[in-house]
Chains A and B, each alone.
Chain A
Amino acid sequence: MKPKRKFKMPLRVILALCTIACFIMIIFSFKYQDKINPVKTYIGNVIQPMQRGINSLGHKIYDFVDLFQTKQSILDENKKLKEQLESVKSENISLIEDRNELATLRELYKLDQGYKQYPKVAARVVSHDDTNWYNEFTIDKGSDDGIQKNMNVIAGNGLVGIVSEIGKSYSKVRSIIDDNSYVSGMFVRTSDLCDVKGNLTTLKNGYIDVERISIDSEIEDGYEVVTSYQSDRYLEGILIGYVSDIKPDSNNMTMTAKLVPVVDFSRLDTVLVITQVSNYDELEDMTNYD
């Protein structure tokens, strides 16, 4: 009975104090984001090497599980393919292969023209956001490697996201599929502008939203969306994905569509950071003068 009496009253006080402390922290970090960042990066610098160690183990386990899961389907597929292989002449196969290769090479050539002039740095994905609600991750390059805030991140031939926070040897990347993400996009073939927004609810089906497409724009399913020249944080001409399911809005002024990103976010392992920042600061200065 005695310890209960001893603990009961202070506990409520502790709870109240901690709650107040939390609220103060929320307000403080909301108002003075810059002053909080050094503390955050300090802790990040401590945690990040540990994550890097465990992550390498994670990759191995993932590969093992993946092998286990896909083994049966691969075996079935193998059987089918063998039957197919017999029925199809070898000449025919080589022809199809050549054609596929040509198509991908053509596509690569076209895409590479868009952003080959940007200098890039390769980085590995280390850890992911600890909630299932957002899609952010850290990479193993930071301010020591010349990474800056608002640098664009790509993988393969498509846009992944933007550097949202930097530490000494790590940086945080917000991907375009994140629910908070917003990218100003453009259709390559028609130069129509649109907004690409991450959406958690539709992401499960493999696509995100494209909004505010002008009703006059003559777009069709499968058109490519790249980052637009209007964007203040994203460099121009990086491929985002392909649209489908274009529908007019109820206001009859704009259209919305679905967008399938070119990057496979579930298997993101190595990314490229473009070490050139969009002229965001200049724009900000200009608005300040106004």
Chain B
Amino acid sequence: MIKKWLITVLMILLCYLLQTTLFFHLKLAGVFPNLMIIVTVSTGYIRGQKDGLFTGLLCGLLSDMIFGSVIGLHALIYMLVGYLFGYANALYWRNDFSVPLILTGVADFVYNFMFYVFEFLLRGKMNFLTYLKIIIVPEAVYTMLVAVLLYKVIWFTNKLTLPSDSEEEI
């Protein structure tokens, strides 16, 4: 239990560091991928809703603490994403690498949509379609591309740390 969460926390931290430093320099089409959404969705998909919820909460809190102006907003969004995409745990199949990619893309879309509603729509920025074109869609695509690699890493780490857990949940 402790080992499981220690590794999750380390993974979140590493992804956060990569996202804010390295991937900023690897921008494509003006956006960089959202690694934390990959971690949240993958954890929810592999380990179920409860773990997805807590992973999302941790990701969001970290994000809030470093760059957020209001603490709790990112935490709420990530947590809901983790919880919602934890439902996909019912579809979990060990050697299937395509479902989590699609889920990641959809989750990134959902995350950015909620972000837009809370942070931009409430400030009176109505032109959603422009934001869809310049940020939401490119980011979802790029995140999916990165998820191809990252999901395998996460899946493998989970397999190593909790072989019995993942077997049980199938």
Measured CB to CB, the residues of A under 8 A from B are 3, 7, 11, 14-15, 18-19, 21-26, 28-30, 36, 39-40, 43-44, 47, 50-51, 54-55, 57-59, 61-62, 65, 126-134, 136, 172, 179, 200-201, 204, 266
Contact = CB atoms under 8 A, between A and B. Distances in A.
A30 B168 CA distance: 43
B118 to A, nearest CB: 10
Contacts of B79: 15, 18-19, 22
A43 B65 contact: yes
A39 B65 CA distance: 8
B20 to A, nearest CB: 4
Contact of B17 (A30, A40, A51, A136): A51
A96 to B, nearest CB: 34
B98 interface: no
A127 B63 CA distance: 13
Given A15-B53, A19-B79, A130-B66, A58 B134 contact: no
| Chain B residues touching A, range | 35 or more
Contacts of A29: 70-72
Interface string B72-102: 1101100110010000000000000000000
Interface of B: 13, 16-27, 30-32, 34, 36, 48-50, 53, 57, 62-63, 65-67, 70-73, 75-76, 79-80, 83, 112, 115-116, 119-120, 125, 127, 130-131, 134-135, 139, 168
A24 B119 CA distance: 18
27 contacts: A7-B50, A14-B50, A21-B72, A22-B72, A24-B72, A26-B70, A26-B72, A26-B73, A29-B72, A43-B66, A44-B65, A47-B16, A50-B13, A55-B21, A58-B24, A127-B20, A127-B21, A130-B16, A130-B63, A130-B67, A132-B112, A132-B135, A179-B120, A179-B125, A200-B131, A201-B130, A201-B134
Nearest to A134: B67
Given A130-B63, A131-B115, A54 B76 contact: no
A22 B66 CA distance: 16
Nearest to B71: A29
Contacts of A21: 72
A52 to B, nearest CB: 8
A188 to B, nearest CB: 31
A111 to B, nearest CB: 28
B120 A133 contact: yes
B18 A54 contact: yes
B77 to A, nearest CB: 9
Contacts of A129: 20, 67
B98 to A, nearest CB: 25
Contact of B22 (A24, A39, A57): A57
B83 A15 contact: yes
A61 B22 contact: yes
B25 A3 contact: no
Given A22-B75, A132-B31, A133-B135, 12 more contacts: A15-B83, A24-B72, A30-B70, A51-B17, A55-B22, A61-B25, A127-B17, A129-B20, A130-B66, A131-B115, A132-B30, A133-B120
A23 B77 CA distance: 11
B147 to A, nearest CB: 16
Contacts of A26: 70-73, 76
Given A15-B53, A18-B57, A18-B79, A128 B24 contact: yes
A21 B76 CA distance: 9
B20 A128 contact: yes
B51 to A, nearest CB: 11
Given A19-B76, A23-B76, A58 B22 contact: yes
